[in-house]
Amino acid sequence: MRVLFVSRSNIGLSRGGLQKQIRKTAEGLENNGIEVIFYNPWKNQIKEVDICHCWGSDPQMIYFVREAKRNKVPVVISPVFMRFSERLWLVKIEYWAGVFIRGLFTPQGLIYKMFRACDKIIALNKEEEDILKHVFRLHPETTSVIPNGIEKKFADGDPELFIKKYGVSDFVLQVGYIEERKNLLTTIKAMKGLPYKLVVVGGWEMRNEKYVKRCKAEGGDNVLFTGYIDHDDPLLAAAYAAAKVFVLPSFNEVMPLVVYEAAQAGCNLVLSNTFPCEKLLRDKVFFANPRKPHELRKQIKRAMSTPLNLELRKVAMSMPTWQDVANSIAEVYKELLESA
């Protein structure tokens, strides 16, 4: 079997959850004997493959979907559709208007047509699946839920690596690209005057430089910016191991991998109440409104004064691996080819 992987045109310019999801899935599929072909913009590879798998919700991918359908190649989409913090009826109107009113919400109209045309949509959790079904009027058989996989190496991080390099321990940690959606500025405001250090691990794109400058100016000496640390660098696992609390007050996420990496390390978790959280984790997590620094501050203080929850680690370690995920996606491919 040959599968074509397609995503937004600038996918290779940044490092984040989607890139990791694509790379790890490809590795797992190749372990199953499935050949993964990454799209080359200078070639039309659709005629050469059995499945076209689109990653993300970029409206330009509609051209690949249409070409695949024209060549009778089944299409799978993993959309990572992040609209959890918005009113669903408004989201629905936005996408429907893009279809029926020319010149209004054009990208949303293309996404609507793209999702309706594909053969299978893979959601990361039930919450994402429910939104997709409601907004795009999808048939129940069109969707499947397959979560992200977990690399089970973050339970073994050596905290001394991080402590020796940066001289801090038992701190509050936020990991991820620095951008407004991740809401680091609210974390910094919430930490004002608290007797704990905030450590920020992550790089940023040029378009977010103004936001980064605001964060650094607001943070002062109480915030340590390490910059980007590669996912495979032992220093990242060491950062989780050395921290006491992990915080992620994003406005929108679907299934952020950093949460489950931090849980493996035994960090207490403070998360935004605007994105889904695994059912087994919910009663072990401190939730806060991402628009209210005082509420986030209260939950950080509670998490810092609470003993480390070893149950979090057990739950995270019991979740599927990337190979498990790839096996499930391979089954989706086989079912589509058999039905075709």
The DSSP result for 249-280, as a single string, is --S--SS-HHHHHHHHTT-EEEEETTS---HH
Lowest model confidence (mean pLDDT) among 55-59, 99-103, 166-170, 291-295: 99-103
Query: How does pLDDT run across 161-182, given as a tens digit for each residue?
Result: 999 999 999 999 999 999 999 9
Look at residue 85 in the predicted model and tell me its pLDDT.
77
Look at residue 275 in the predicted model and tell me its pLDDT.
87
Contacts 24+ apart (CB under 8 A), 31-35: 31/323, 31/326, 32/326, 32/327, 32/330, 33/1, 34/1, 34/2, 34/3, 34/330, 34/333, 35/1, 35/2, 35/3
- The CATH T-level fold of domain 2-149+321-339 is Rossmann fold (3.40.50)
Look at residue 212 in the predicted model and tell me its pLDDT.
93
Query: Within 137-230, where are the H helices?
Result: 159-166, 184-190, 209-219
pTM attached to this predicted model: 0.89
CATH of span 154-317: 3.40.50.2000
Task: Band the pLDDT of 293: cuts 50, 70, 90.
Answer: very high
Residues 153, 260: Cα–Cα separation, whole Å: 11
Residues 339, 329: Cα–Cα separation, whole Å: 16
Does 281 or 155 have the greater pLDDT score?
A: 155
Contacts of 304 (CB under 8 A, 6+ apart): 172, 196, 244, 245, 268
Query: How does pLDDT run across 316-329, given as a tens digit for each residue?
Result: 888 899 999 999 99
Q: How many CB atoms lie within 10 A of CB 60?
A: 13
Annotate 91-125 with b (16+ C-beta within 10 A) or e (fewer).
bbebbbebbeeeeebeebbbbbbbbeebbbbbbbb
CATH 3.40.50.2000 in the chain is located at 2-149+321-339, 154-317
Task: Band the pLDDT of 143: cuts 50, 70, 90.
Answer: very high
Q: Which amino acid, 4?
A: L
